[in-house]
């Protein structure tokens, strides 16, 4: 159930290699040391995929994700959260909402949010397949013995870790302005 230290070290090595800072288009004399950190989709999915061995037990998957995020800097945790929200936006399509509605027997706004979080928790291959071809959800459900299509808690892991590291509340975690709604 627990990820090996080698996996965590590998993921942290990816973090060091892939996480980049975005530069503001300002003169060097005015450049800020507070430029936001961004996370590539590749690194985001490496982290998520590193927890999918525990996906059958949501609490175990949350624990594995918490452990990985705890090893990141606060800025990298924010970048992970922003990357999670980018994937949520990618999965916000009418076709996907329709298949979620059919598969789940209904899908309110919140229900569709929880469904998309569940879809992200399944890992990159499943996510990309279902976003590209929503009807392929039937294949995923056939392979999933539980048939649970919600995972609300996964979206709060980054804010929980950030709050614990910073000593502030989850609501105080900074977000990329484009993701605020």
Work out the number of other CB atoms within 10 angstroms of the CB of residue 42: 11
Distance CA 90, CA 146 (A): 25
Q: Is the pLDDT of residue 137 over 70?
A: yes
Give pTM, 2 decimals: 0.77
Query: Which two three-digit tokens encode residue 47?
Result: 């982290």
From 4-13, 30-39, 46-55, 60-69, the region with the lowest mean pLDDT:
4-13
Q: Measured between alpha carbons, how far is 105 from 102 in angstroms, rounded to an integer?
A: 5
For the record, the structure tokens of 90 come out as 């990618």
User: Which pLDDT does position 22 carry in this prediction?
Assistant: 35
If you average pLDDT over each of 18-27, 49-58, 62-71, 99-108, which comes out highest?
A: 62-71
- 8: which 2 tokens? 């965590």
Cα 177 to Cα 164: distance, rounded to the nearest angstrom? 23
């Amino acid at each position: 159930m627990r990820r090996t230290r080698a996996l965590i070290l590998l993921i942290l090595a990816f973090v060091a290699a892939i996480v980049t800072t975005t530069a503001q288009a300002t003169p060097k004399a005015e450049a800020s040391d507070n430029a936001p950190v961004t996370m590539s989709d590749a690194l985001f999915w490496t982290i998520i995929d590193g927890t999918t061995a525990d996906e059958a037990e949501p609490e175990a998957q949350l624990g594995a994700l918490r452990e990985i995020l705890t090893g990141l800097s606060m800025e990298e945790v924010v970048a992970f959260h922003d990357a999670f929200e980018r994937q949520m936006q990618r999965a916000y399509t009418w076709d996907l909402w329709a298949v979620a509605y059919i598969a789940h027997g209904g899908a309110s706004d919140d229900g569709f949010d929880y469904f998309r979080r569940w879809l992200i928790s399944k890992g990159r291959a499943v996510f990309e397949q279902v976003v590209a071809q929503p009807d392929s959800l039937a294949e995923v459900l056939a392979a999933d013995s539980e048939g649970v299509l919600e995972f609300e808690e996964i979206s709060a892991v980054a804010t929980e870790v950030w709050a614990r590291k910073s000593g502030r509340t989850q609501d105080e975690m900074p977000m990329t302005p484009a993701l605020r709604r």
